[in-house]
Amino acid sequence: MKHPILTIVVPCFNEEEVFKETAKQLTSVLENLQEQTFIDAKSKILFVDDGSTDETWPLIEEESKINRYVTGIKLSRNVGHQNALLAGLEKAKNMSDCVISIDADLQDDISVIKDFMIKFHEGYDIVYGVRKSRETDTFFKRASARGFYRLMRKIGINLIPDHADFRLMSKRALEELSHYKETNLFLRGVIPLIGFKSAKVMYDRKERFAGTSKYPLKKMLSFAFDGITSFSVAPIRLVTLIGAFSFLLSLCAAGYAFIQELLGHTESGWTSLMISIWLIGGLQLMGIGLIGEYIGKIFNETKRRPKYTVETDLLPYKHNVHSPQHHGIFSGESGD
């Protein structure tokens, strides 16, 4: 049985400070896996430059000339982490039997990549890297993450708690992923929908090797909101419930005012009137804004614009992937 070709996909945005160390450590991982006959010698590290404005792409080009494992693609502009990751997955699908995605900051523990491959050889199509704990996070980040996963679970969105984008996917899983055409991409929610045999590998998250986080609070909140609105209409239903509650409250207030009128206790109530107007007006604006968010997503979906454009490709040709006896995964079936 021939060994599977592995591609490690690494999205990069302004990662010049960490790139050399990332390439060095991932190269060591591939060399060790090859020596232990887990992977084929044609395995690669695919760096995806997401429109970096620093020296990230020149460093990728330079490394590819001296390191047979390293290759890369350069996107014409910054399209965001999820789309850059998708670009790498779609490229790797054509030259691999399995793909592992990982961020460039070396916070994910690359030593468990071997465990990923063990699970793959056992027949798993998707292997999720899951953090053992969040003790290294700040209290706010830890509390907000737990609240986010709890909320997503309550509104029916199936996410893997404490899992980001550190995962392995077989070629069959990547083929199925390509059938999901939405523009508003939230891979952490889409991949569990594929439903193939999956496993988890636990690991401890490390400190960032160098550079700064590309996900400040504002981006994290936006990412979370995109995930919710891409997978659930629960926010719109919530606004409907708030509207119904406000209507019932107004009926109670009208009844109270009518009784006061009959008893002759009516007084001018400028303050309560203003508060009522502001409350109803705020609820209306919030509802209109939320509906507008969904309409905007529909607008983006209907345009069907490309999610990314590849400007430079260091590996334009395709490898012929193997067909190991891996539960029929690579025998040319579509996976439908």
pLDDT in tens, 271-330: 566 567 766 776 777 777 777 777 777 776 676 777 888 888 887 544 444 444 344 333
Residue 153 DSSP label: H
Q: Are residues 182 and 44 in the same domain?
A: yes
Judge whether 323 lies within some domain.
no
Domain count, the chain: 2
Record the tokens describing residue 86, joined without a space.
Answer: 């998708």
User: Could you tell me the pLDDT band of residue 94, with boundaries at 50, 70 and 90?
Assistant: confident
Judge whether 318 lies within some domain.
no
Judge whether 220 lies within some domain.
no
* pTM of the full structure: 0.72
Reported as type and span, the H/E element at residue 70 is strand 70-75
Q: Which residues of 141-168 are buried (b: 16+ CB within 10 A; e: fewer)?
A: eeebbeebbeebeeeebebbebbbbbbb
CATH number at residue 42: 3.90.550.10
Query: Cα(15)–Cα(161) distance, rounded to whole angstroms?
Result: 27
pLDDT of residue 172: 92
Q: Are residues 11 and 77 in the same domain?
A: yes
Q: Are residues 263 and 297 in the same domain?
A: yes
Judge whether 32 lies within some domain.
yes
Q: In angstroms, how far is CA 312 from the centroid of its own chain?
A: 24
Distances in Å between the Cα of 334 and the Cα atoms of 7, 116, 177 are 20, 23, 12
SS (H, E, C) 263-322: HCCCCCCHHHHHHHHHHHHHHHHHHHHHHHHHHHHHHHHHHCCCCCCEEEECCCCCCCCC
Record the tokens describing residue 100, joined without a space.
Answer: 């592992």
CA angle 324, 9, 80 (to 5 degrees): 140
pLDDT of residue 126: 94
pLDDT of residue 214: 54
Hey, what amino acid is at 242? I
Q: Are residues 239 and 117 in the same domain?
A: no
Residue 114 DSSP label: H
Judge whether 100 lies within some domain.
yes
pLDDT in tens, 105-126: 888 999 999 999 999 999 999 9
Judge whether 87 lies within some domain.
yes
Among residues 334, 321, 329, 333, the alpha carbon closest in space to that of 123 is found at 329
Rg (CA), the chain: 25
Among residues 326, 249, 311, 255, the alpha carbon closest in space to that of 280 is found at 249
Q: Which of 90-104, 170-184, 261-275 is predicted most confidently?
A: 90-104
Q: Are residues 192 and 247 in the same domain?
A: no
pLDDT of residue 326: 45
Q: Are residues 140 and 271 in the same domain?
A: no
Q: Are residues 11 and 156 in the same domain?
A: yes
Reported as type and span, the H/E element at residue 7 is strand 6-12
Q: Are residues 245 and 142 in the same domain?
A: no
Judge whether 325 lies within some domain.
no
Instruction: Report whether pLDDT(210) > 70.
Output: no
* Domain range enclosing 253: 234-303
pLDDT of residue 332: 36
pLDDT in tens, 129-187: 998 876 666 666 777 777 777 777 777 677 787 888 899 999 999 999 888 887 777 78
Judge whether 173 lies within some domain.
yes
